[in-house]
Amino acid sequence: MIDEVYMARALQLAKRGCFTTAPNPNVGCVIVNNGNIVGEGWHKKTGEDHAEIQALKIAGSQAKNSTVYVTLEPCSHHGLTPPCCYALIKAGINRVVCAVQDPNPIVSGKGFNLLQQAGIKVNHGLMMEESKEINRGFFKRMCTGYPWLQLKLGISLDGRIAMIDKNSKWITSEDSRNDVQIYRAKSSAIISTSSTVLSDNPFLTVRWSKIQKQINFLPNKKLLCQPVRVIIDRNNRVTPKHKLISQAGQIWLIRHKHDQNIWPSNVVQMILPLCQKKSMLSQILLLLGKHEINNVLVEAGGIFSGALIKANLIDELIIYIAPKILGHNSISFCTLPGLNNLKDAPTFTYTDIKRIGNDIRLTLMPKK
Provide the annotated active-site residues.
52
Among candidate residues 342, 350, 348, 353, the one with its CA nearest the CA of residue 368: 348
**Strand order of the sheet with strand 295-298?**
267-271, 251-255, 228-232, 189-193, 295-298, 148-155, 316-321, 359-366, 348-356
Give CA–CA dist 54/67, Å, rounded.
15
Give CA–CA dist 344/322, Å, rounded.
27
Give CA–CA dist 101/110, Å, rounded.
9
Among candidate residues 176, 250, 240, the one with its CA nearest the CA of residue 210: 176
Cβ of 237: how many Cβ atoms within 10 Å? 16
Q: How far apart are the first and last CA of the chain?
A: 33
Among candidate residues 17, 107, 81, 46, the one with its CA nearest the CA of residue 292: 46
Residue 69 sits at φ, ψ, to 5 deg, of: -110, 120
Residues paired with residue 36 on neighbouring β-strands, in sequence order:
33
Residue 309 sits at φ, ψ, to 5 deg, of: -65, -45
Q: What is the DSSP letter of 248?
A: S
Cβ of 177: how many Cβ atoms within 10 Å? 19
Give Rg (Cα) of the chain. 23
Among candidate residues 99, 76, 87, the one with its CA nearest the CA of residue 13: 99
Alpha helices in the chain (DSSP H): 2-14, 51-59, 84-90, 110-117, 128-133, 136-144, 174-185, 194-200, 212-215, 277-290, 302-310
Cβ of 144: how many Cβ atoms within 10 Å? 12
